[in-house]
Amino acid sequence: MLFKRVSKSITKIILPLIYKILKFLKGNTRAINFLNEKKINSNNSYNFEKNIHKLLENKKLIGLDIGAQGGFNSDIFFLEKYNQFFEKILVDPLSKSLKNEKEKHIIKKGFWSSEGSRKLYVLGNRPGSSSMFEPDKDSLKIYGFKDKDFHLFDVTKTETVECDTLSACLNNIKINNLDYLKIDTQGAELEILKGIGSYRPLLIKCEVQLFPMYKNIPSWTEIVDLLSKLGYMISDWREIGSHVTRTPVEMDMIFIPNFSSALGKKIIKEREKEFIALMLISGQIKLLNKISKSLNLPHSEFYMKIKDKYFD
């Protein structure tokens, strides 16, 4: 009886305190989001340029940016100072989106699971949201858009664009290996990955919509399933934009070869130096250390003693 009375008394004291704390936190979500962003990017304080120069010597990482409006790595997944280590291939079917880019390889066509022509829905008021799929305005309130902003998703015109597979396009420009693959194509990610052929990137950054903003796009789980079958695992995911749910509705998912599977081990072991460089560039220090111990990777003096600030 005494225990029950004490328990009830504690509950009466503790629960209101918890509610007050939660209310305070709710009113300070911006501060929490700011601190979370700082945590995610905490390893950016390191500078691995010298280490990567020693690893790669004069070799470049091959980086394919599909949906490259704004240029390579325009969404700043990793620090701009590391762009120097990449031979960049930029892809965007909108003819004007890459007109100011000076890269050697610029592909102005759509990527798909097969060769052919497809309709592109162009959003003139929001060009970065143009898609092979028609926008679904019924979903916009989930993304936090107000009615007055729905016009941003008006289809201002449609274009017929020539499409081909990722593997065919890279073969055409004599690219044998792909190290980094970024896909941001407003719903076409799965179809693009279906055309990957024998290419096996060491790091994949893929935008996925958990709650579709476009009509008839495949479920994001199909992307995860396909890449899992190809020997990949999820190493990170980062929320994109605002929403009105308690879970993200859109995110960037990061995939690396699954070092515990035969397929994943093979991908890493064939290009060890490139894999280490990409893990350092993306700030995955602790995971790199675990993989290094598991696969006995070389050059561990570059990273084994580095503290991963995300976890510590």
Q: Are residues 145 and 34 in the same domain?
A: no
Same domain, yes or no: 18 and 139: no
- Model-level pTM? 0.89
Low-confidence ranges of the chain (pLDDT < 70): 1-13, 15, 18-35, 95, 99
Torsion angles phi and psi, residue 175, rounded to 5? -100, 120
Range of the domain at 62: 47-302
> What confidence tens digit (pLDDT) does each residue in 286-309 have?
999 999 999 999 999 989 999 999
In a domain, 96, yes or no: yes
The verdict on 21 and 68 lying in the same domain is no
Q: Residue written as tokens 């620090």? A: 79
* Each residue's pLDDT tens digit, 38-47: 788 899 999 9
Domain count, the chain: 2
Q: Are residues 181 and 279 in the same domain?
A: yes
268 and 184 share a domain?
A: yes
- Domain membership of residue 312 (yes or no) is no
**Helix, strand or coil, per DSSP, at residue 225:** helix
Question: Is the residue at 307 inside a domain?
Answer: no
Count CB atoms within 10 A of the CB of residue 153.
21
DSSP letter (8 states) at residue 7: H
Q: CB neighbours of 210 closer than 8 A, spacing ≥ 6?
A: 220, 247, 248, 249, 250, 251
Sheet holding 105-107: strands in order across? 105-107, 86-91, 61-66, 180-183, 203-209, 250-257, 232-239
Contact 56, 85 (CB under 8 A): yes
Residues 18 and 130 grouped into a single domain? no
Beta strands in the chain (DSSP E): 61-66, 86-91, 105-107, 110-111, 116-122, 157-164, 180-183, 203-209, 232-239, 250-257
Q: Is residue 27 part of a domain?
A: yes
Q: Are 175 and 89 in contact (CB under 8 A)?
A: yes
For residue 106, the SS3 value is strand
DSSP assigned state of 202: S
Q: Does one domain contain both 23 and 54?
A: no
At 6 the pLDDT is: 46
Decide if 197 is inside a domain.
yes
- Residue 309 belongs to some domain of the structure: no
In a domain, 310, yes or no: no
Distance CA 299, CA 51 (A): 9
Distance between CA 310 and CA 112 in Å, rounded? 36
Q: 193 and 157 in one domain?
A: yes
**DSSP assignment of 23-64, as one string?**
HHHHTTHHHHHHHHHHHHTGGGG---HHHHHHHHTT--EEEE
Output the CA torsion sign for 221, 225, 230, 236.
positive
Residues 128 and 212 in one domain: yes
In a domain, 174, yes or no: yes
Q: What is the pLDDT of residue 3?
A: 47
Question: CA 197, CA 171: separation in Å to the nearest integer?
Answer: 10
Count of positions (residues) in the chain: 312
* Lookup: tokens for 156: 């201002």
Same domain flag for 26 and 73: no
**Tokens 């010298």 identify what position?**
50
Q: Which helix (H) or strand (E) holds 276?
A: helix 272-281
**What CATH number is given to the structural domain containing 275?**
3.40.50.150
My answer on whether 183 and 214 are in the same domain is yes
- The Cα–Cα gap between 208 and 185 comes to 9
Say whether both 190 and 261 belong to one domain.
yes
